[in-house]
Amino acid sequence: MLRQVAEDVWIHESEFCRSNAVVVQGRAGVLLVDPGVQDHELACLADDLSGAGQTVVAGFSTHPHWDHLLWHAGLGAAPRYATARCAATVRARLSDAGAQARVAALLPPDIADRVPLDLLGRVTGLPAGTTRVPWDGPRVRIVEHQAHAPGHAALVIEERGVLVAGDMLSDVLVPMLDLNGTDDPVEDYLAALRLLEGVAGDVGVLVPGHGSVGGADQVPARIDRDRAYVHALRDGHDPRDPRIGPSAEPGWEWVGDVHDGQAQRLAGRGRDTGTPSA
Ligand SMILES: [Zn+2]
């Protein structure tokens, strides 16, 4: 079911990891950001849109992870955009014959047979430095950074005061650093948070890639919480973060394992490079 979160902006939530698809009303149809995950959910979204007389005129994937790269035939054949770096990463990871089988092996077993991979990752990279999604609708600013995944983009629907954060600023997931893609994942993450802070002033609605939609007060609160988490991770301290440990929401206890894994990997990196680590 589509739920309106601002003028001309709706979300469609997946059962998988509370993934949020975002629909933005334009003049001749809608922009669809990170459509969703399971086949029946994507089909439901396609039906909701066609039932409302809407066609998808453009798509956008916030970053090159499988759960943000899916599509469904019922959504039509509009161009699906991504940053140049995101699209290049998708090409590098997914253009060989074995790619779909590799992704299939990564899927959580309980939903693996319900994730349609046939249209996975067919994104078009926008020229490097593109600052707006090219479409006929409310201006959508692209805020590209290197946290979480290569070429990750947040989107700001400026005239509607909506920040589509991709896999950042979640109330259920801690920051997940891109530990493979960059030399300094901690600093890249902090830089991305500063970038989001810079655009946050005019934002009244925050839509994370996974989790709850937040109001204006949630933008600085979540930026501060994510920054505190990344600082704790960097410094080897206990993050005391409500998203991990006993206060995690039921069903989200695994986020604690994500944290432990990141802490171990970062400590290992510190040793590898001879820099101090906790
Ligand atoms: Zn995700």
List the chain pLDDT tens, one digit each, 278 residues.
899 999 999 999 998 899 999 999 999 999 999 999 999 999 999 999 999 999 999 999 999 999 999 999 999 999 999 999 999 999 999 989 899 999 999 999 999 999 999 999 999 999 999 999 999 999 999 999 999 999 999 999 999 999 999 999 999 999 999 998 788 999 999 999 999 999 998 899 999 999 999 999 999 999 999 999 999 999 999 999 999 988 988 889 999 999 999 999 998 876 555 444 43
This prediction has a pTM of 0.94
Tokens 């140049």 locate to 84
Cα 164–Cα 23–Cα 248 angle in degrees, nearest 5: 50
167 CA → ligand 1 middle, Å: 5
Backbone dihedral angles phi then psi of residue 273, each to the nearest 5 degrees? -95, 0
Whether residue 19 contacts residue 210, with contact meaning beta carbons closer than 8 Å, is answered with yes
pLDDT of residue 158: 95
275 CA → ligand 1 middle, Å: 31
37 CA → ligand 1 middle, Å: 10
Residue type, 132: R
187 CA → ligand 1 middle, Å: 21
Q: Please give the Cα distance from 87 to 92 (Å, whole number).
A: 9
pLDDT of residue 274: 46
pLDDT of residue 15: 85
229 CA → ligand 1 middle, Å: 18
Tokens representing 202 are: 């005019």
76 CA → ligand 1 middle, Å: 23
7 CA → ligand 1 middle, Å: 25
